[in-house]
Structure 1
Amino acid sequence: LIPLSYVTILGGICTLIGTSTNLVVHSMILDAGMKGFSMFELGKVGIFIALAGIIYLFLFSKKLLPATRPETTNEEDGDSSLHLVEAVIGPRFPGINKTVGEFDFKRHYGAEIKELRRSGRTYTDLNEVSFREGDTLVVLTDDSFIQTWGESSVFLMLANGKEYEPAGKKKRWFTLFLLLFMIVGATVGELPGIEKYLPEGIKLDMFFFVSITTVIMAWSKIFPPQKYTKYISWDILITIACAFAISKAMENSGVADLLAGYIISLSHDYGPYVLLAVLFIITNIFTELITNNAAAALAFPIALSLSTQLGVNPMPFFVVICMAASASFSTPIGYQTNLIVQGIGNYKFTDFVRIGLPLNIITFLISVFLIPLIWPF
């Protein structure tokens, strides 16, 4: 499951829409009055990182990760209509920081908690254990639990070992077509020379095609009207908005210029390559300790100030932020997919460090070497 999470991250760095981190940096570039990324521009370096990461995982994951995990209890209380479901707690779970004894889970969700898993430990004596985001609960419940809460942001993921098909075959193929339409449309719309054939004020960018795709999905009832807002990650949007505010405060207060000047003074004789490496390390530490979006937003004003004070092209610094902020491999807290697999795979924190730290180093080396060759200073 850890390799699955890592491959998800590696794929995300290759396109503009693969991860919200890239969109955050793209928006900040536009806000600074510069041209942002095209749909597949980040793939120029991202594909090399992804290939190297996948090869590394194939060669070393079996050696560095535990081969087995404890089996889930098979208790079903003699009722054949009940079965065990694994539920990963999301950020909007109302019982976070409350103990299992304080929060009546059964009254809220009609399910009985059998186990709680966290950082490789399994808790069965639950009364004094507090709920945390990313915990995996093993609950005894009926079939209605996944149907009711499967699309809710209260839980990051629900699994009962059965395949779940939310839509019919025709709808799935139509959804795939809409995805391809959105990607191809945005890619073609950004090609040089297209703008001169368009009416004034019309831009065939990603936002344009996302909007059209969303309207078509609603009109064709791929998702029902009462669930329009369920697919919006409000917590992520609020995090990004707050990160934008902090970033702007760093820029306006002069903190970004101060930090950039300090970094330049430390590496004054080594040129922009070393500064690129330093920026990667700073951003990567941020993303391992907080979240990828916040890390990107905090690092952006430093990158902009670095390039301004050096008088060089800022684009290499912006791309480095995208790669470093997404390279959350050494801890489970920096990226949501890591949180999801931690409890279900019953992984310890050290499992992520053991296999993730070399992957961080691989990403660092490829980024610092290739990015200046593709986007010259």
Structure 2
Amino acid sequence: MSIEQIFVLALLFVVFLSFVKEYYPPEVIALGATAALVATSIIDVREFLSVFSSGAPITIAMMFILSASLERTGVLSLLGEGLKKYAKGSFLRVMFLMMFGAMIASAFMNNTPVVILMTPIVISVASSVGVSPSRLLIPLSFSAIFGGTLTLVGTSTNILVSGIAVQSGLPEISMFEMTLPGLIFAAVGMVYMFFAGRYLLPDRTSLANLLSEGSKKKFMARVLVPSHSKYLDKKLHELPFNTPHSRILDVIRGEVSLRGKLDTLQLQSGDRIVIKTDTSEILGMKEDGGVEFADKSSQDIELVTSEQTITMEASVGPQSHLRGKTLDELNLRRQYGIYVMAIHRNDKNLSDKMNNVRLQFADTLLLDGPIDGIERLVKEGSVINLSTPSERPIRRSKAPIAIITMVSVMVLAAFNVMNIAGLALIGAVIVMLTRCIDPEEAFDVIDWRILFLIFGMLGISIGMTNTGAAKLIVESIISSIGTASPLVILAIVYILTSLLTEMISNNAVAVLLGPIVISLAIQLGYDPRPFIIAVMFAASASFATPIGYQTNTFVYNAGGYKFKDFIKVGLPLNVIFAGLAVIVIPLFFPF
């Protein structure tokens, strides 16, 4: 084994460990590894630049735009409206309609926005049928995953695997090549969820329910500590109006928020206290005289320095500008008048150290503030409203254009009229020119993190090929499996891909294992097609953890789930799909 091979394999181990430990975002880790390969001349700059000519990332970017055009023109909202209309108080009816609708939608557009858009609708419908949202959000995510396996454009992983096949000298995977086996997987998955999975679904309480302060109308008041106040040098817990029915959100001294020091803070002259409480408490504070309002002469609660506020549960979206920043850096109080009362991530409440937490995709936030401030935050796309479906202008008159464009791209790709990358590019330009979606919004919806993760992993793949590390891995596998039948090898490929996908990014796993699996099949004298299809299905069908797939990550926090909930419901489904893969894939893709 050469020094270069040792270096690449060690680097691969570091990348994998970093993915699992989440030291940095996965796209940064992948690009960092590629940078190391370029710095050591294992791959030269020209080779690295070749990854940007790959058709798969371009196709994925354009499909983000096409999917967003379907959302913007109200095509997806029709599913939500139908779900509400036909729910009629039946949990099973809601579950079936929701899963079937999400599956169909996810076959024709990226499944992550399907789940993001349907989550507040599902939460709303859940209350109407008398069940916890946690009884419906895992089925929503799983059904979107089922749908993503039905067509080439259902998930970015499918497009990526097709690109890997082409790079390896194989024919590209066509639009509906995986549809028939995908329908079998989806049908079995639906049957499992209805006859077994639904009994394993937990009843969880969301963050907003856990921290609810009751139904009594609350106000947020800003009061001044004057120089003659009897509360000077007092700690907050000593204040008579700091009761279980009130909540001190902040103390502002000058222009500095002292929120992180509320436990030990002693009040000084000129401090402004921000408190959330009810009308009677505010009137009592005015009579007490220890603090001052802006208008001391007024007895009308609407004229004092207070405003009606709402408490809303929201999630950090995939394109949110909040990602990677702390609350101190964002200063939502100054920009929007909003306070973050709690942060929920991975079954943990991070409220004790909120100001230092760097927000991540799918973090659930409990926001409190004026209606207009929260509405601005939602409209800007910074957060996704989980309490109610967000209202936004829908261009329904453009819906036929968006539908015809998407269908045309899929049909023309199925008949090999043009490469899917070219068709997706043309389709994306059409929906922008016809204003199905504004160009500014179109480029915002592209998840650049996924694209740069792919570029980084493609660079690692080149490094493994150049040094012979990929060949070394293949030879090691061949020597260990000996004369195993192709069915056994297929099972190993599927299970290995599935296990890795539960721990790290599904796209990273596809790029990493795709070339290795193709080389393995060729050296053993088998058609690589069934094995690369197994990688595609296993990398998409991630059910046993909330971190293996974006839709699972999103509903994980939105539904207030625990990690074990996904293991309990999803692990049996992973096992069923692994057994099904060994039976179904060879029927459609012989060895």
- The alignment status of 1:6 with 2:142, answered yes or no, reads yes
The code of the aligned residue for 1:265 comes to S
**Residue pair 1:88, 1:158 contacting (<8 A) in 2 also:** no
Cα distance, 1:21 vs. partner?
Answer: 0.5
Unaligned 5+ runs, structure 1: 191-202
Match of 1:87 among 315, 328, 335: 315
State the SS of the aligned residue for 1:138.
Answer: strand
Match of 2:499 among 282, 285, 288: 285
Match of 1:274 among 480, 485, 488: 488
**Residue pair 2:342, 2:354 contacting (<8 A) in 1 also:** no
More off after superposition, 57-66 vs 337-346: 57-66
Question: 1:241: which partner in 2?
Answer: 455
CA distance in 2, matches of 1:62, 1:277: 27
**Residue pair 1:263, 1:275 contacting (<8 A) in 2 also:** no
State the SS of the aligned residue for 2:365.
Answer: strand
CA distance in 1, matches of 2:481, 2:157: 27
TM-score, scaled relative to structure 1: 0.87
Question: 1:186: which partner in 2?
Answer: 413
Any idea what the Cα deviations from partners look like across 1:182-241, whole Å, max 9, x if unmatched?
Answer: 222322x32xxxxxxxxxxxx523223322221221111122233341121111110111
Match of 2:537 among 323, 327, 352: 323
Q: 1:346 to 1:129 in 2, by over 3 A?
A: farther
TM-score, scaled relative to structure 2: 0.57
Any idea what the Cα deviations from partners look like across 1:316-352, whole Å, max 9, x if unmatched?
Answer: 1110100111121111111111111011100111111
CA distance in 2, matches of 1:325, 1:362: 15
**Residue pair 1:87, 1:139 contacting (<8 A) in 2 also:** no
Question: 1:200: which partner in 2?
Answer: none
**Residue pair 1:101, 1:126 contacting (<8 A) in 2 also:** no
CA distance in 2, matches of 1:297, 1:36: 15
More off after superposition, 315-324 vs 73-82: 73-82
Match of 1:138 among 366, 370, 373: 366
Match of 1:96 among 319, 324, 327: 324
More off after superposition, 358-367 vs 245-254: 245-254
Matches within 5 A, 1:3-42: 3-42=139-178
Cα distance, 1:295 vs. partner?
Answer: 0.5
Cα distance, 1:17 vs. partner?
Answer: 0.5
Determine which structure has more spread, i.e. the larger CA radius of gyration: 2
Cα distance, 1:363 vs. partner?
Answer: 1.3
The code of the aligned residue for 1:253 comes to T
- The alignment status of 1:111 with 2:338, answered yes or no, reads yes
CA distance in 2, matches of 1:210, 1:165: 26
- The alignment status of 1:51 with 2:187, answered yes or no, reads yes
Cα distance, 1:20 vs. partner?
Answer: 0.5
Q: 1:376 to 1:158 in 2, by over 3 A?
A: same
**Residue pair 2:345, 2:557 contacting (<8 A) in 1 also:** yes
Question: 1:63: which partner in 2?
Answer: 199
Question: 1:195: which partner in 2?
Answer: none
- The alignment status of 1:359 with 2:586, answered yes or no, reads no
State the SS of the aligned residue for 1:84.
Answer: strand
More off after superposition, 205-214 vs 348-357: 205-214
CA distance in 1, matches of 2:568, 2:325: 29
The RMSD of aligned alpha carbons is: 2.5
Matches within 5 A, 1:338-377: 338-377=552-591
Unaligned 5+ runs, structure 2: 1-136, 220-306
More off after superposition, 364-373 vs 128-137: 128-137
More off after superposition, 211-220 vs 337-346: 211-220
Cα distance, 1:274 vs. partner?
Answer: 1.2
Q: 1:166 to 1:292 in 2, by over 3 A?
A: farther
Cα distance, 1:109 vs. partner?
Answer: 5.7
CA distance in 2, matches of 1:255, 1:375: 28
Match of 1:306 among 520, 527, 532: 520
CA distance in 2, matches of 1:93, 1:257: 42
- The alignment status of 1:176 with 2:403, answered yes or no, reads yes
Overall identity of the aligned pairs, in %? 34
State the SS of the aligned residue for 1:289.
Answer: coil
Any idea what the Cα deviations from partners look like across 1:3-43, whole Å, max 9, x if unmatched?
Answer: 11011111101110101111111011111222111101111
Size of the alignment, in residue pairs?
361
Question: 2:33: which partner in 1?
Answer: none
The code of the aligned residue for 2:501 comes to T
State the SS of the aligned residue for 2:183.
Answer: helix
CA distance in 2, matches of 1:359, 1:129: 38
**Residue pair 2:343, 2:354 contacting (<8 A) in 1 also:** no
CA distance in 2, matches of 1:168, 1:91: 22
Cα distance, 1:55 vs. partner?
Answer: 1.0
Question: 1:197: which partner in 2?
Answer: none
Cα distance, 1:305 vs. partner?
Answer: 1.6
**Residue pair 1:13, 1:326 contacting (<8 A) in 2 also:** yes
**Residue pair 2:164, 2:515 contacting (<8 A) in 1 also:** no
Any idea what the Cα deviations from partners look like across 1:241-289, whole Å, max 9, x if unmatched?
Answer: 1111112222222222222222222221222221111111221122111
CA distance in 2, matches of 1:128, 1:144: 20
Q: 1:339 to 1:91 in 2, by over 3 A?
A: farther
Cα distance, 1:373 vs. partner?
Answer: 2.1
